[in-house]
Every structure is written in C-alpha cells, then in structure tokens.
Amino acid sequence: MSGACDGGAAGGPGALFVPVWSGTDAAVTQNTVEGLANRLRGRVVRPTDADYDRVRAVWNGMVDKRPALIVRCAGTSDVLEAVRHARARGLPVAVRGGGHNVSGAAVCDDGLVVDLTPMRGVRVDPAAGTVRADGGVTIGDLDRETQAFGLAVPMGVVTETGIAGLTLGGGLGWLRRKYGLSCDDLISADVVTADGRVVAAESDPELMWALKGGGGNFGVVTSFEFRAHPVGPEVFFAQVIHAGRDARSALRAYREWAAAAPDEISSFAILWHGPPDEAVPAEHHGAPIVVFAALHSGSPREGEEALRPLRAIGTPIADLSAASSYLEVQRFFDEDYPAHVMRYYWKSRYLTGLPDELIDVLVELNEAAPSPHSTLDVWQLGGAFARVGAQDTAFGDRSAPFLLGIEANWEDPADDEACIAWARRVHAAAAPFSTGAEYLNFPGLYEDADRTVRDTFGANLDRLAAVKRRYDPDNLFRFTHNIRPS
C-alpha cells in the first residue's frame, strides 16, 4: 500500500459513557465496549471472560498485569478501532506482537491491549525476494514460509518471539553478521498512528528511519515488508561445550577466533550451567560450562570447513556440531525458554572488547548465579551488522565487537529477588567494559529508562523525538523504550 488514508473520527456514532464497573475497570463502560465489540472482526476480551487469564498472560511468567480490555485484532481495521476507542476514553494503550518482551510491556494494568496475536498472515514474493508479514507473526511463522522458497529474513534465535517487537528494537540473530539486523531488511510497513490513521511508513523516510530500532513509539505496525535472502535449507551449526575449569582459556581463544571469523559465521559464547542432558557428561550437570554456538550461513561443506578452528579450541567436553536444517537451528534454543512457567529478567551491555579482566568477572559471576538456568551470552557482532552507519538507522552506534546478554532465568517466585539482584550485579560489573549503550530489546523492567534511551540512541535521540512529536505528541504509545515527544 502507499500514501496515508484518514481513518475517520474517533469512537462510534451514538457511543454513550455509562460507568458500570469500578476499580480497575472504572474507565470502561459496558455499552461503549459492546459498541467496540460490534465494530470488530476480532473480539474484545474483558476481565469477566473465561479466557481472560489465558489471553492476558505473556511469555514471562513473572508478569501479572490486568488490562481493562484486550482487543484481539483480526486486521488493520480492528487496530484502528482499538486505538480510537482507547484514545477517546483516555485509556493507556499497550501493543502486543508476540508478547515476548521480558518487561511485560505487551500488556498494561487498567488499560487497553491492542493484541495482534491473531494476525499471523505471511506472503512471500519469491521473484522479488521479499516477504510481507502481519504484526502478530512469530519468527517461526516467518521462517517456515520463507524457507518454503529457500529464503530467510534475519530474525532472532527463539522462534516464538514476535517479529514486531524484535524488528522495531533492531533484531539480532544467526544471520546478523551476514545480513545485519532484522530492521535493516525492513522495506515498508503499515502503521496505525495515535490519531487513528493508517500510514505507509515508506511514504515518510523519517518514519521509516525511526522504525528501524526506535521501538514501538510511533504507532501500531500492522504489516511489515522485508527483503529476504537465500539461506539453507541445510547449514552447518557448531555447538561445542567446555568445562567450567577451562572457561577462561576457552573464552580468550574465542575472542581471538571471533576477530578473524568470516561474515558467514554468527556465534555466541554462552556461560551457563550444564543441563541434565545426555549430550553433556553427567559430572558437568549443574556445573559451570561454556558453550560456543555458531551458524555458518553458506553451504554445509563450506560451513564445516570454516567452523573447524572454533571447534579446535582447547579440549571440549562435547562437540555436537553437525549439518542441520536452517529451521532446526532456528528452533535450537526454543526448549530452553518455556512460556508462562518460568520467570525472566534480562539486561545487556555493548562491550568495547573481551579483555581478560572481563572474562574473569563473567566466569566468577556465572559460577555465582543463583539459578542454573541463567546465562551470560556473549554475542559476536561485526560484519554486516557493523557496516551500517550510526545515523543510517535509529538503532544507533554499531561499533561494539560484542554484546553481553545478561539472562536471569529461574522457576521459583521465592528466587525473584536473588535472581534479579544477580543480573543487576553483572550489569554493574560489566559497565567499565561497555560502550554505555544497551540492547533495548533486553530492557529489564525499564528501570532507569530515560538514561538508557539517552545513552543508547545518542545523537539519534533528537531526531527520534521529532518523529515522535509528529506521530504521537501525547505519548499514547509509551510502553516501550519510550522516546518522549519533547
């Protein structure tokens, strides 16, 4: 689509305001909600509905928010109705793509959730090498459809994640060094704005620029169009496990290897505790380990050759490397991140390097992790990711050679305090080794958000605020890494 179309006046004819609920539902009225429901192709879910608890649940089991209304959108017209309804009644608005953000920003207390979960359409144009995907599509949906044509769009590494939040915040995955961020391949997007219009983002280069890393600040994206690349169906995937006692030497060797690796390879070094898996020798179950995981995006033969030096580091306790289907690699981490049952708190730091002192800190803090499910993930950056200029997209500076993902993952609510405190300890300990910027898709609970936004966007912040002022001057879309309009 192109150009912008006026979505008409807010609210519906004859809408009445008769309060019938109290407490958290005070701002919502039965009959205006009925009016909204009647205008939708999808449906409204309210606290009194039997499936309310299921529908309000997001991936992070720690999040327990109680929206006044959840609008399960079937298409763009439903999104327009939902935004107009919220706006006319002064309700806070949360937007849900895949519902995966650790902060739980996809839902809000007492407000209206624009839930795009039912919007899962994907259409590949193999001749053009492009794919269009609705705002509720998951990475797994997109992968399946694109791989049917031998194509892939760079996305994240867990397939239940929504493409929407991921792309708007950047999008780092197994193809990042070959093809860049998810947002680098974004070529057009339909956006429902705060004033109830549908805008084709590509008709406004500033809006298009802002969507590439600027988060959910500018409206609800109902449809994304991406460039896709030939990948798979088979690739080579390295998975090498080292004992905790060898962690320091293995990580030093990894640092040297990473500096010279070709762009086809995107890798992680993951400090973790051995899972009770038969692939891991029993004496390492529950003990500190380091995993090197790497995908080569070319043919399996090229990949096997190129990944040999990584596999030759030190004396691994297991080497599970093999040719694999790209779809399987994409699902590799899925089982480690169950929805709803586990509790999660994630932060990050872009690193200026991986010096020995930092390796010591990370090894010690991994050993001190209160939960064996928690991980410290060193993401190898560089390559195509780094060749995009700091001002070319809203995402900002890309010069860091590594990103540290700090993942507190645990099961028991009694461990909340200890696990969150551990992640914050790592975050503080890594500060002297960082650029000052953070990956905004791993936002913790958005504590100290203004500072993080300022430090991360740097020189891009004023330009982002100008786009925000034009599209959302009243800051309707604020449950994200919020860019204030002024």
Ligand X SMILES: Cc1cc2nc3c(=O)[nH]c(=O)nc-3n(C[C@H](O)[C@H](O)[C@H](O)COP(=O)(O)OP(=O)(O)OC[C@H]3O[C@@H](n4cnc5c(N)ncnc54)[C@H](O)[C@@H]3O)c2cc1C
Binding site for ligand X (CB under 6 A): 59, 95-102, 105-106, 116, 135, 156-158, 161-162, 164-166, 168-173, 215-216, 220-221, 337, 441, 479-480
State in angstroms the smallest separation of the CB of 99 from ligand X: 4
* DSSP 8-state code for residue 484: P
Per the DSSP assignment, residues forming a β-bridge with 350 are 403
Closer by beta carbon to ligand X, 246 or else 336: 336
Give the DSSP per-residue string, 55-91.
HH--SSTT-----SEEEE-SSHHHHHHHHHHHHHTT-
Compute how many other C-beta atoms are within 10 angstroms of the C-beta atom of residue 372: 18
State in angstroms the smallest separation of the CB of 221 from ligand X: 4
Torsion sign over Cα 63, 67, 73, 79 = negative
State in angstroms the smallest separation of the CB of 482 from ligand X: 9
Distance CA 97, CA 135 (A): 6
Closer by beta carbon to ligand X, 95 or else 351: 95
Phi, psi of 408 (to 5 degrees): -90, 120
Closer by beta carbon to ligand X, 119 or else 253: 119
Among residues 101, 107, 102, 137, which one has the least CA distance to residue 119? 137
State in angstroms the smallest separation of the CB of 135 from ligand X: 3
Closer by beta carbon to ligand X, 99 or else 180: 99
State in angstroms the smallest separation of the CB of 112 from ligand X: 13
Closer by beta carbon to ligand X, 174 or else 284: 174
State in angstroms the smallest separation of the CB of 5 from ligand X: 18
Residues in the chain, overall count: 486
Distance CA 458, CA 473 (A): 21
Exposed, middle or buried: residue 325 (CB in 10 Å: 0-12, 13-18, 19+)? middle
State in angstroms the smallest separation of the CB of 239 from ligand X: 16
> Cα dist. 295→270, 287, 322 in Å?
14, 25, 10
Closer by beta carbon to ligand X, 213 or else 401: 213
Closer by beta carbon to ligand X, 165 or else 303: 165
